[in-house]
Structure 1
Amino acid sequence: MRTRPLAISRGLERGLRGLKAIDSHAHLEELKDLESCLRRAASRGVIAVVTAGSDASSSRFALEARSRFKELGIQVFGAIGLHPWSLRELGRDGIEEALDFIEARAGEAVAIGEVGLDYWLPEARRDGEGRRLQREVFARQLRIARKAEKPVVVHSRGAWKDCLEMVKEAEVEALFHWFSGPLEVLKELLACGYCVSATLALDYSEEHRRVILNTPLSRILSETDSPVRYKGRFNREAEPADVVDVVAMIASLKEVGLEEAAKHCLNNAIRFYSLPSELG
Structure 2
Amino acid sequence: MMIDAHIHLDHYDEDDRKEILAKLAEHGVEALVAVSFDLPSCIKNRSSSLEDNRIHAAYGFHPEQDIPSIEEMDQLFSWMKEHIDEMVAVGEVGLPYYKKLESLVPLDYEPYIQLLDRFVAFAASSQKPIVLHAVYDDAQIACELLEKHGVTKAHFHWFKGDDIVVKRMVKNGYFISITPDCLYEDEIQQLIRKYPIEQMMIETDGPWPFEGPYTNQRTEPKMMVQSIEKIAELQARTIEETAKILYENTKKFYGI
Distance 1:147 1:250, change over 3 A: same
Report the alpha carbon displacement of residue 181 of structure 1 after superposing the two structures with TM.
1.1
Where structure 1 has 5 or more consecutive residues not aligned to the other structure, the ranges are 1-19, 276-280
> Judging changes above 3 Å, is the alpha-carbon distance between structure 1 residues 60 and 147 closer, same or farther for their aligned structure 2 residues?
same
1:21 and 2:6 equivalent? no
The whole-number CA distance in structure 1 between the counterparts of 2:183 and 2:31 is 23
- What is aligned with 1:160? 139
Task: Check whether the contact 1:201–1:231 (CA below 8 A) recurs between aligned residues.
Answer: yes
Match of 2:98 in 1: 120
CA drift at 1:244: 2.1
The equivalent residue for 1:201 is 181
Distance in 2 between the 1:237 and 1:138 partners?
A: 31
| 1:98 Cα deviation after fit | 2.2
Q: Which residue of 2 aligns with 1:13?
A: none
TM-score where L is the length of structure 1: 0.83
Q: Name the Cα RMSD after superposition.
A: 2.1
Task: Provide the rounded CA distance (Å) in 1 between the counterparts of 2:70 and 2:102.
Answer: 16
Determine the structure 2 residue equivalent to 1:142.
120
SS in 2 for 1:79: strand
Specify whether residues 251 and 156 from structure 1 end up closer, same or farther in structure 2 by C-alpha distance, changes over 3 A only.
Answer: same
Structure 2 unaligned blocks of 5 or more: none
The number of equivalent residue pairs is 251
Q: Which moved more, 1:184-193 or 1:161-170?
A: 161-170
TM-score (norm 2): 0.91
Q: Deviation of residue 114 (structure 1)?
A: 0.6
The residue aligned with 2:63 is: 84
**2:194 corresponds to which of 214, 218, 225:** 214
The offset of 1:62, in angstroms, is 2.1
Q: 2:246 aligns with which of 257, 265, 278?
A: 265
CA distance in 2, matches of 1:193, 1:184: 15
Q: Distance in 2 between matches of 1:42 and 1:84?
A: 32
Structure 1 residues 154-204: Cα deviation after superposition (integer angstroms, max 9, x where no partner): 100341211111112121110111111112101111101111111111022
How far the C-alpha of 1:125 sits from its partner, in A, is 6.4
One of 67, 90, 99 as aligned partner of 2:50: 67
Structure 1 position 222, deviation (Å): 0.7
2:207 corresponds to which of 191, 210, 227: 227
Distance 2:101 2:174 in 1: 29
Q: Distance in 2 between matches of 1:24 and 1:266?
A: 10
Q: What is the aligned partner in structure 2 of residue 9 from structure 1? A: none
Contact 2:228 2:243 in 1 (8 A): yes
Give the residue type in structure 2 aligned to 1:62.
Answer: N
The alpha-carbon deviation at position 126 of structure 1 amounts to 10
Structure 2 residue matching 1:150: 3-state secondary structure: coil
Q: Distance in 1 between matches of 2:224 and 2:165?
A: 26
Amino acid at match of 1:256: R
1:110 aligns with 2:91: no
